[in-house]
Chain A
Amino acid sequence: MRETAGKLNRGWLAVIGIVALLLGVVGILLASGAASGIASATGTGFEPAGPGDTALPEDFQSIFAPPVAAVIVSVVAVVVGLLALAWLLAQLPRLHQAGTFRLNSGDNADGMTSCEPDVLTDAVEADVERLDGVQAASALLRGSASQPDLTLDVGIDPRADVRAIIEQIHSSVIPDFETAVGAPLSRNALLINVSNRPARDKTTVV
Chain B
Amino acid sequence: MRVVYLDNNATTRVADEVREEMLPYLSELYGNPSSMHTFGGQVHRKIETAREQVAALINAEPEEIIFTSCGTESDNTAIMSCLASSPQKRHIITTRVEHPAVLNFCKTMSRRGYRVTFLPVDKSGRLDLDELQSAITDDTAVVSVMYANNESGVIFPISEIAAIVKARGVPFHTDAVQAAGKIPVDVKKIPVDMMSLSGHKIHAAKGVGALYVRRGTRFSPYIIGGHQERGRRAGTENVASIVGFGRACELAREHLPEEGTRIKEMRDRLERGLHSTCPGARTNGDPENRLPNTLNISFEYVEGEAILLRLNEFNICASSGSACTSGSLEPSHVLRAMGVPFTAIHGSVRFSLSRYTTDEDIDLVLEKMPGIIKELRDLSPYGREAGQAGAHSP
- Same complex origin of A and B: no
